Every structure is written in structure tokens, then in C-alpha cells.
């Protein structure tokens, strides 16, 4: 989303949006909006499934650079690797 899109959605000015984004980047130690997104996802501060529809997520990802998308993909990969499947999986009953 652009600063203008965010401002319209929040009924505020683009300068307010820019200031808030800048403050968030400073607090997170991020050099850019894209890096801030990666940081909050990595730290678990924001869960995208609770905030955005799939269409909104797709639009947001399309607006990010390839390096940011690769970083997000790596985070998702690490999360999937951390998930452990149950060891005692019951098999379907056999037919006799």
C-alpha cells in the first residue's frame, strides 16, 4: 500500500503516515518499510493471517522488492521446519 492509500484508509494525512512509518522503522532498527515488515514478522509481533485478506497480502507482496520477499519466504520456511508432526499418526482402519 502506498502512503496515500494508508492515509485514506485511516482518514489522516500522508505526512502523518510517513511520520508514523519513520518512527516505527526507528524503533525497530529498520532501514526501510520492507525491512520493518520482515522484522515484525520474524519477531511474531504481527500475524498477517489476522490482519489481511489474501488479496491484500498479494498486493502488499507485489509492492515489496525481491530481497524482502526472499527474506519473508525464508522466515516462512523456518516456521514450517519448526512445526513437528505428531509421531503417533493413526492409520485408517483396515477392511476385512
Closest by CA position to 52, among listed 43, 62, 67: 62
Looking at per-residue pLDDT, the higher value among 34 and 93 belongs to 34
Cα 17 from chain centroid?
19
pLDDT at residue 63 is higher than 90: no
Mean predicted confidence (pLDDT) in 6-12: 85
CA atoms of 52 and 45, how far apart (whole Å)? 14
Which pLDDT does position 84 carry in this prediction?
A: 58
Mean predicted confidence (pLDDT) in 26-30: 93
Neighbour count for residue 18 (Cβ, 10 Å): 13
Instruction: Provide CB contacts within 8 A for 83, sequence distance 6+.
Output: none
Contact between 7 and 41 under an 8 Å Cβ cutoff? The reply is no
For the chain, which domains are there? Answer: 3-66 (1.10.10)
Mean predicted confidence (pLDDT) in 59-66: 77
Which pLDDT does position 26 carry in this prediction?
A: 94
Which pLDDT does position 56 carry in this prediction?
A: 77
Amino acid at each position: 500500500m502506498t502512503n496515500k492509500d494508508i492515509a485514506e484508509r485511516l482518514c489522516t494525512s500522508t505526512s502523518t503516515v510517513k511520520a508514523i512509518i519513520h518512527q516505527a522503522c526507528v524503533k525497530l532498527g529498520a532501514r526501510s518499510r520492507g525491512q520493518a515488515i520482515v522484522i515484525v514478522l520474524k519477531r511474531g509481533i504481527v500475524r498477517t493471517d489476522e490482519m489481511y485478506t489474501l488479496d491484500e497480502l498479494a498486493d502488499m507482496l507485489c509492492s515489496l522488492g525481491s530481497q524482502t520477499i526472499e527474506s519473508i519466504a525464508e522466515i516462512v520456511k523456518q516456521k514450517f521446519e519448526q512445526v513437528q508432526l505428531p509421531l503417533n499418526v493413526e492409520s485408517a482402519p483396515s477392511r476385512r
